[in-house]
Amino acid sequence: MKTKAFIFDLDGVIVDTAKYHYLAWQKIASQLGIDFTHEHNELLKGVSRVRSLEIILGLGNIEASQEDKDKWLVQKNEDYLGYITNMKEDEILEGVITVLQFLKANGQLIALGSASKNARPILEKVNILHYFDAIVDGNDVTNAKPDPEVFVRAAKLLGKTASESIVFEDSVAGIQAANIAGMVSVGIGHKDILNEAQYNFNDFTEIDNNFLQTLVNT
């Protein structure tokens, strides 16, 4: 059997931490008098913490010193960490474990490619760290998606080329990064939003073993 590199984003793909990011950013936005909605939060998917703050400040046409920006970035992370402290296995999105188990049982290589700087503690809290052969997160990369750095690094750690790599993503920036890298892109979410993905599923419950086997064989 061929061996491929299966690379997963974290937020919105493996676990639903997006709600915690939203609450933490909403708190910052509220302090600044900005009405931050769920629709606005979609703009932050797959981008770095620094870029997320820039987007929020842009929504309110707010100019801020670097000192203030640094303060808000620290506050956001502390609030977010407070929210995820009590995460448990039941917060893993439906169907994810089944896919991870199939890949592991069939000798495939699995990596995480995420902008999150808290990826390891989250994977530990939900008890799935052992599935991953490599982890590349926001602590390891310089460039945010759609730059493909995070996925290229993950594939390299697994000893695989871009053409041997498959990426699961829920953000437009993440799908674009996978495509730029020359990897197979699998969108997890609404196909109208993730229309640049080569394959698209609403969630992992729609992904069966035959599809995964096809990815391995092609």
Residue 114 corresponds to which tokens in the numbers above?
Answer: 């995420």
- Cα–Cα distance measured from residue 30 to residue 122, given in angstroms and rounded to the nearest whole number: 26
As a whole number of angstroms, the distance between CA 188 and CA 186 comes to 7
Residue from 112, 168, 169 nearest 137 by CA: 112
Residue 208 is a catalytic residue: no
Give CA–CA dist 3/107, Å, rounded.
7
9 an active-site residue?
A: yes
The tokens describing 46, both together, are: 């797959």
Query: Which candidate in 11, 35, 90, 137 is catalytic?
Result: 11
Distance CA 82, CA 199 (A): 35
Instruction: State the catalytic residues.
Output: 9, 11
